[in-house]
């Protein structure tokens, strides 16, 4: 694995060191997992946006209002 250098704020580094020590794992592992999770979250957000776009493309605008009224009525009946 290639090495990467970067800077962290002192309080962040102290928190990472404390967790690494408590869990008995390397600091680099915590940072790697954090970056991987960030990228997954970013990818999921992009995927959600694409799904919403596809739904909007699939429903013609005139039908959207009728669908919205139907769902609103259905939601009101649940109370």
pLDDT at 65 (0 to 100): 78
State mean pLDDT over 47-70. 80
How far, CA to CA in Å, does 2 sit from each of 13, 27, 32, 68? 21, 16, 12, 51
Would you say residue 35 has pLDDT above 80?
yes
**What does the pLDDT read at residue 46?**
86
Supply the pTM of this predicted model.
Answer: 0.55
Could you give the CA distance from residue 2 to residue 35 in angstroms, rounded to a whole number?
A: 15
Element (H, E) at 21: helix 10-23
Asked if 29 and 17 touch (Cβ cutoff 8 Å), the reply is no
Cα separation of 49 and 51, whole Å? 5
> Residue 35 is encoded by which pair of tokens?
């970056």
């Amino acid at each position: 694995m290639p090495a990467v250098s970067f800077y962290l704020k002192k309080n962040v580094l102290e928190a990472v060191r404390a967790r690494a020590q408590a869990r008995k794992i390397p600091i680099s592992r915590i940072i790697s997992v954090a970056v991987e999770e960030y990228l997954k979250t970013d990818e999921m957000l992009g995927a959600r946006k694409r799904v919403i776009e596809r739904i909007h493309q699939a429903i013609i605008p005139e039908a959207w209002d009728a669908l919205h009224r139907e769902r609103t009525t259905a939601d009101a009946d649940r109370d």
